[in-house]
Each structure stands twice: as structure tokens, then as C-alpha cells.
DNA sequence: AAACTAGTCAACCGCTAGTCA
DNA sequence: GTGACTAGCGGTTGACTAGTT
């Protein structure tokens, strides 16, 4: 197939920075006729630009819904989380940050975040530790350094490396880490309501002062699922309390106040049982109906929680005392 | 004050996927 | 099925600015 050039090779097509007059022409035309027809637009709008250039100018700078100015801390955290999930899929990342363009995010990543990663000893491409021996042993198969990186970078930026490292060690199975792991591991395949439900239930774990709110489960399809679905937390909250009806929290990992948390109870269980064991048939059917991947999700989550269970924790704080930390995450899904 | 360097970011380029005749 | 065309994406470039020597 012979590809025709994007722009006619005629002389006179302008390149480089746009003038206010050109911007005005483009805005006027698009306000009147709407987007589309980029190839013929320049001629109709009286611009000596190629259509591609017009589209880019509009998409990146002239669109009325574009947010300008510096990135907020939350936006930065979102970028990092989404980048961990999508890699250099800037458009996908941009979808998670309303008002920001892929180009802007890409630039911000390359000029700010990437440098910070390197400064903190993290490979910006693989997001593995650049410091030998720091990455491998800490991460279970299929769950690489990335998640820790997210936490490291999204923690207080001014923390020195030592402090950051200490936090990583200390936080152990923090709530944010747990959520990061779950979100990034399953974000692509599960009904976001499921995750929100888990978030809503508080999760099994602990949190620290430097925890992030950056967990961002993505993809439009994830958001499109039914509102009638009962979140996992609700289902779990309805489930019977352990086999013998006694709820105990024998593990030193969890605080006493954790006993009412279904996921915690699950984690506390040493029998390696799956999630389905905690659900009534009806509830489980609801789960299955709500997401095609739910069964697989539950298996994975089961395995996942087992991994977390093996982690060492120095400090314990009941998760549901930090509900507000997760509200933003839920808000993201709203 | 001039030259140089580094950082930033708007814009461009090349490519691909999707659509339609 | 094929080819032309369009829109969009990600990587790269280069102009501009600020800081340093």
C-alpha cells in the first residue's frame, strides 16, 4: 500500500509555533463545525497548516477542557500508578487524568518523574531497582518491583533515600501497598466495583503515614460495569464468620480491631482456602455474573493474600481507621 | 556581558489501526 | 480482499529559557 503523505507537499504550509491569530481561526472554525475532517480543515479555516498540526494544536492546547498549570501531587501519583499499569501508553494514562493531555503527561514523565526515579535508584524503563540485590528477593514472581516503586516515588518526594527505604521496609503490608498490588495486578480484568468493594471493606492490611492515594485501576471497560452489582466487601461482610463461628485474630500481623474485617479474617486463616469458601452459593453466583474474570480473580486474589500474609510487619494499624485515604480512590471510580 | 549548558515543552515525524468504498 | 484515507499514538526534535561559568 502506498501511503500518501499526511500533508500536501506544497510549499507554503507553515510549521513551528502557532500564532494567536492562527489559534483564533482554528478555535472559531471548530466551534462552528466541530471536530473532525482534519485533512480539509486547514483550507476551510483559512490556515496554512497541515491537518495533523491543526488536530494536535487543538487536542493539546486549545480544547476548552484542558487543564493547564503544574501537576498536583495527586496527579503525579496517578501518573506513576498508571504508568506502572500501562507503561508508556500515554493516551491510556491521560484518560485517567481528566484535563491533561497525553503529550503533557509524556513530557512531565520524561522531564520530572523519570529523573526522580533515576535519582532514587530505579530504572525508569523496567522500574526495577538499579541497586543490585534490592529487587529480586523482595518480590514474588509475577509481582515485580513496580509496586514498591510506586510507593517509594509517591511517598513524600523530599524524603531522603534512607527514609524512603525505611518506609518501604517498615510499611511491610501496608494498605496502600496492598491496594497498589491488587489494583495493578487485577485492574485490567476485574469489575472496578469489585475492587472498590475491597477498598471499601478496608482491606486486610495496615497503613503508614506515607501511604499514597494513587491506586488507580484503569480501563474504560473496568468502569462500565453494572451499578447493581454487590461489591465484594458487601458480600464478604455477609459471609459467615469462620467455620466454627469464632472469630479470632491469632496472627500478630493484625490488630485486635481487625477481627470484624472479612478480608482480615480471611488472611488470618491458615488453611489456604479460597474466597469461594466464604461466600454463599448465591453470593458467589452474583460475583460470577458480575465479571467474567471474577472466578479467576478470586483465585488470584487468594494467592495474592497468601503472599501478603507472609510479609513481615512492624507496625499495625487497622485499615478502616484510614478510610478517608481510600475515598479518593473510590471517587476516581465514581 | 558573553558563552555555554541544562531543562522544559510545543510541535513534528513516522508509524499503525480502523474505516470505508 | 484490497487500497486509499483518516485519526491517533508514541518517540523525537528543536526553540526557548534559566542558570552557571
Strand B bases contacted by the protein (CB, 7 Å): 7-16
Q: How far is A318 from A323, CA to CA, in rounded Å?
A: 10
Q: What is the C-alpha separation between A253 and A244, in angstroms, rounded?
A: 22
Q: Where are the domains of chain A?
A: 20-62, 172-333
Residues A88-99: tens digit of each pLDDT = 888 888 888 888
Which residue's CA is nearest to the C1' of nucleotide C8? A91
How long is the CA A205 to C1' C18 vector, in angstroms? Answer: 46
**Phi, psi (5° rounding) for residue A27?**
-60, -45
Cα–Cα distance, A173 to A209 (Å, whole number): 13
Q: Quick one: which of A324, A276, A320 has its CA closest to A301?
A: A276
3-class secondary structure, A101 = coil
Q: What is the mean pLDDT of the segment spanning A185-196?
A: 40
Q: Output the pLDDT for position A103.
A: 87
- Indicate yes or no: strand B within 7 A of the C-beta of A9: no
pLDDT tens, residue by residue, A139-184: 333 333 444 444 544 444 433 333 333 333 333 233 334 444 444 4
Task: Check pLDDT > 50 for residue A135.
Answer: no
Q: In angstroms, how far is B17 C1' from A86 CA? A: 19
Q: Cβ of A60 < 7 Å from strand B? A: yes
DSSP type of residue A122: B
A52 touches strand B (CB under 7 A): yes
DSSP summary character for residue A110: I
How far is A192 from A30, CA to CA, in rounded Å?
A: 35
**Mean pLDDT, rounded, of chain A:** 53
| Distance of A24 CA from C5 C1′ (whole Å) | 28
CB A247 within 8 A of CB A265: yes
Write out pLDDT tens, residues A288-319: 444 433 445 445 545 544 444 444 333 333 33
- What three-state secondary structure class fits A174? strand
Output the pLDDT for position A122. Answer: 67
Tell whether the model's pLDDT for residue A77 goes beyond 50. Answer: yes
Q: How confident is the model at residue A187 (pLDDT cuts 50, 70, 90)?
A: very low
Q: How confident is the model at residue A114 (pLDDT cuts 50, 70, 90)?
A: confident
Q: Which nucleotides of C are covered by protein (CB under 7 A)?
A: 3-12, 15-16
Taking a C-beta distance cutoff of 8 angstroms, is the pair A309, A254 a contact?
no
- The percent of residues above 70 in pLDDT, for chain A, comes to 31
The correct CATH number of A20-62 out of 2.60.40, 1.10.8, 1.10.10, 1.10.760 is 1.10.10
Q: How far is CA A318 from the centre of its chain?
A: 23
How do residues A236-265 score in pLDDT, each as one tens digit? Answer: 223 333 333 333 333 332 333 333 332 332
Residue A230 makes CB contacts below 8 A (sequence gap 6+) with A197, A283, A286, A290
- Taking only the tens place, the pLDDT of each residue in A197-227 is 433 333 333 333 333 333 333 333 333 332 2
* Alpha carbon distances (Å) from A272 to A77, A253, A282, A301: 34, 17, 22, 12
- DSSP 8-class letter at A65: T
Q: What is the pLDDT of residues A53-71, one digit of tens each?
A: 888 888 888 888 888 778 8
Query: Which residues have CB under 7 A from strand C?
Result: A 1-4, 6, 16-17, 35-40, 51-52, 55-56, 59, 88-92, 102-103, 106-107, 110
Which pLDDT belongs to residue A136? 36
Amino acid at each position: 500500500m502506498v501511503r500518501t503523505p499526511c500533508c500536501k507537499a506544497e510549499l507554503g504550509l507553515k510549521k513551528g509555533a502557532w500564532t494567536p491569530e492562527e489559534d483564533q481561526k482554528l478555535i472559531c472554525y471548530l466551534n462552528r463545525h466541530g471536530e473532525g475532517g482534519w485533512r480539509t480543515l486547514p483550507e476551510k479555516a483559512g490556515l496554512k497548516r497541515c491537518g495533523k498540526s491543526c488536530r494536535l494544536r487543538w487536542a493539546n492546547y486549545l480544547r476548552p477542557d484542558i487543564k493547564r498549570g503544574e501537576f498536583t501531587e495527586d496527579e503525579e501519583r496517578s501518573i506513576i500508578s498508571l504508568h506502572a499499569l500501562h507503561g508508556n501508553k500515554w493516551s491510556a494514562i491521560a484518560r485517567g487524568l481528566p484535563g491533561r493531555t497525553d503529550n503533557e503527561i509524556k513530557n512531565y514523565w520524561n522531564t520530572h518523574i523519570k529523573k526522580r526515579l533515576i535519582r532514587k535508584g530505579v530504572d525508569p524503563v523496567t522500574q526495577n531497582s538499579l541497586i543490585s540485590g534490592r529487587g529480586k528477593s523482595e518480590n514474588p514472581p509475577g509481582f515485580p518491583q513496580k509496586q514498591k516503586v510506586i510507593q517509594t516515588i509517591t511517598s513524600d518526594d523530599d524524603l531522603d533515600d534512607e527514609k524512603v527505604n525505611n518506609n518501604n521496609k517498615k510499611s511491610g503490608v501496608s494498605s496502600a501497598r496492598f491496594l497498589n498490588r491488587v489494583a495493578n495486578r487485577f485492574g485490567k480484568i476485574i469489575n472496578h466495583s469489585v475492587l472498590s468493594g475491597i477498598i471499601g471493606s478496608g482491606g486486610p492490611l495496615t497503613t503508614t503515614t506515607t501511604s499514597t492515594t494513587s491506586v488507580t485501576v484503569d480501563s474504560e471497560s473496568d468502569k462500565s460495569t453494572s451499578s447493581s452489582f454487590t461489591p465484594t466487601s458487601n458480600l464478604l461482610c455477609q459471609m459467615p464468620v469462620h467455620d466454627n463461628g469464632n472469630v479470632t485474630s491469632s496472627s500478630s500481623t493484625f490488630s485486635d480491631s481487625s477481627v470484624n474485617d472479612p478480608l482480615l479474617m480471611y488472611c488470618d486463616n491458615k488453611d489456604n482456602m479460597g474466597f469461594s469458601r466464604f461466600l454463599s452459593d448465591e453470593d458467589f453466583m452474583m460475583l460470577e455474573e458480575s465479571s467474567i474474570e471474577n472466578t479467576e480473580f478470586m483465585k488470584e486474589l487468594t494467592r495474592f493474600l497468601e503472599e501478603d500474609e507472609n510479609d513481615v510487619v512492624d507496625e499495625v494499624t487497622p485499615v478502616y481507621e484510614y478510610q478517608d485515604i481510600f475515598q479518593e480512590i473510590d471517587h476516581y471510580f465514581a
